[in-house]
């Protein structure tokens, strides 16, 4: 059921827009309130009056209308929604969203929003298969935009194939599934570390490592998708800030630790960062190239995972760490779990033979007090989802105890 859920339905210009009218009905039947934004092209297929009559609310369409902006600015339109559904999502609107264009109310609302977005694409098979459309969808998926459909079947102009918008009931089911998942970690606070750290040698040089931050970012995004209030403390990476996550950018291990400690108390902490074990005793001035090469004196960095796991009365209920090993994977990971005081360790084999390092996938074994659970080879995104689901299950069981 969708009682109390506020859906902002963006209707773009495609023949499937007629099905959006039924979607409004299906969503309202399940208890949601529905507010509609229509593009100019959508109004060539269906009238605002029809959408207004079915939604019971006025329909917004003009970015520049003084009345629209006075009564309901584009920022408020998205702020007052729990989920934005784009149905039909045309190739054009998908491309605009991927590129960040905002030349009408619909595209501006989407770009100005930090709310979850669900797309229900509808278009001709060739437009769907076009590499531009596919790469736009891949970009959006990376940003956390989810999608339902399209399906295969009869299309307009007597054609048939993949491109039909999912049926209104299927879209309404996907909306419900979104909120079920979203409730799993609602009310929980999560802290995730990600990426490498940079340790200064002098005011212009530093030591870093090759961590991409992909896994940590994927975990933060997945936990946020389940509704947790998520803070990601990230070293310097090329990864975009995940949607729906508060990101604090740091450089050194000590900065990372102090930001993490300032976030306590949290329910769960996941330490996925490749924190430098040592920092350099920093030279106050830039080292000059004269005489013999300088000797760098290394000082041990604080261990963030161990510090959080031993944070006396502010210890997170669940502390999760990683162990990247090249040999004796499980034994080394078990030893790391005990040494650092973590509840769970995600062990991954980073030997050259595994091919994991720097790739988009991971081969994880979860080690807890009961034993080892092997997940097999998964994409980093799937590892994030699996871990987030496992965390939700942990709190569910704790609540039942």
Decide: 122 and 93 in contact? Cβ < 8 Å: no
Residues 6+ apart with CB under 8 A from 247: 231, 232, 233, 234, 241
Question: Contact letters (x/-) for ligand CTP, 191-230, by CB under 6 A?
Answer: --x-------------------------------------
- CA dihedral of residues 98, 102, 104, 107 (deg, nearest 10): 40
User: Closest Cα partner for 93 from 84, 81, 102?
Assistant: 102
Taking CB under 6 A as the criterion, which residues in 159-198 touch ligand CTP?
A: 193
Q: Which of 199, 229, 303, 363 binds ligand CTP (CB under 6 A)?
A: 303
CB atoms within 10 A of CB 385: 19
Comparison of 47 and 307: residue with beta carbon closer to ligand CTP: 307
Q: Which of 124, 209, 313, 328 is catalytic?
A: 209
User: What one-character-per-residue DSSP string does 374-388 give?
Assistant: EEEEEEHHHHHHHHH
Comparison of 171 and 383: residue with beta carbon closer to ligand CTP: 383
| Nearest distance in Å: CB 206, ligand CTP | 16
- 166 Ramachandran zone, left/alpha/beta (phi>0; psi -120 to 50): beta
Structure tokens at 92: 């054009």
Taking CB under 6 A as the criterion, which residues in 256-275 touch ligand CTP?
A: 271-273, 275
Range list of H helices, 276-379: 304-309, 329-340
User: Closest Cα partner for 384 from 195, 221, 185?
Assistant: 221
Strand partners, 154: 160
Is residue 7 a contact point for ligand CTP (CB under 6 A)?
Answer: no
Comparison of 42 and 260: residue with beta carbon closer to ligand CTP: 260
Strand partners, 231: 191, 246
| Nearest distance in Å: CB 377, ligand CTP | 20
Question: Contact letters (x/-) for ligand CTP, 339-378, by CB under 6 A?
Answer: ----------------------------------------
Q: Which of 36, 324, 347, 392 binds ligand CTP (CB under 6 A)?
A: 324
| Nearest distance in Å: CB 387, ligand CTP | 12
Q: Which of 323, 329, 364, 392 binds ligand CTP (CB under 6 A)?
A: 323
Comparison of 165 and 269: residue with beta carbon closer to ligand CTP: 269
Decide: 376 and 363 in contact? Cβ < 8 Å: yes
Decide: 194 and 216 in contact? Cβ < 8 Å: yes
- Asked about 209 being catalytic, the answer comes back as yes
Active site residues: 209
Residues that bind ligand CTP (CB under 6 A): 193, 253, 271-273, 275, 277, 301, 303-305, 321-324, 336
């Amino acid at each position: 059921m969708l009682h109390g859920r506020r859906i902002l339905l963006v209707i773009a210009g495609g023949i499937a827009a007629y099905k959006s009218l039924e979607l409004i009905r299906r969503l309202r039947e399940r208890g949601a309130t529905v507010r509609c934004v229509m593009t100019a092209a959508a109004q060539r297929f269906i009238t605002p009056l029809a959408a207004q009559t079915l939604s019971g609310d006025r329909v917004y369409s003009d970015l520049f209308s003084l009345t629209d902006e006075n009564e309901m600015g584009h920022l408020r339109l998205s702020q007052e929604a729990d989920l934005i559904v784009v149905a039909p999502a045309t190739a054009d609107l998908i491309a605009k969203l991927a590129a960040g264009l905002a030349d009408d109310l619909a595209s501006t609302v989407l770009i100005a929003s930090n709310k979850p977005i669900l797309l229900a694409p509808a278009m001709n098979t060739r437009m769907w298969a076009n590499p531009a459309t596919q790469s736009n969808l891949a970009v959006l998926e990376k940003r956390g935009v989810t999608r339902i459909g399209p399906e295969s079947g009869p299309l307009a102009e007597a054609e048939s194939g993949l491109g039909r918008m999912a049926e209104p009931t299927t879209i309404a089911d996907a909306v419900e599934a979104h909120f079920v998942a979203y409730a799993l970690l609602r009310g929980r606070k999560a802290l995730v570390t990600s990426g490498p750290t940079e340790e200064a040698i002098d005011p212009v040089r530093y030591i870093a490592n090759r961590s991409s931050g992909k896994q940590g970012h994927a975990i933060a995004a997945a936990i946020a998708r389940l509704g947790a209030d998520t803070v990601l403390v990230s070293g310097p990476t090329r990864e975009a800030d995940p949607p729906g996550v508060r990101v604090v950018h740091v450089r050194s291990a000590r900065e990372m630790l102090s930001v993490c400690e300032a976030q306590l108390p949290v329910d769960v902490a996941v330490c996925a960062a490749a924190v430098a074990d040592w920092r350099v005793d920093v030279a106050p001035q830039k080292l000059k190239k004269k005489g013999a090469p300088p000797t760098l004196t290394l000082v041990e960095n604080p261990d963030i995972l161990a510090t959080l796991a031993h944070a006396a009365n502010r210890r997170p209920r669940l502390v999760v760490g990683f162990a990247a090993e090249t040999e004796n994977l499980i034994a080394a990971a078990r030893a790391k779990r005990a040494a650092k005081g973590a509840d769970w360790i995600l062990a991954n084999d980073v030997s050259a033979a595994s091919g994991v390092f720097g790739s988009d996938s991971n081969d994880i074994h979860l080690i807890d007090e009961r034993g080892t659970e092997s997940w097999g080879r998964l994409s980093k995104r799937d590892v994030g989802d699996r871990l987030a689901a496992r965390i939700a299950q942990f709190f569910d069981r704790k609540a039942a105890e």
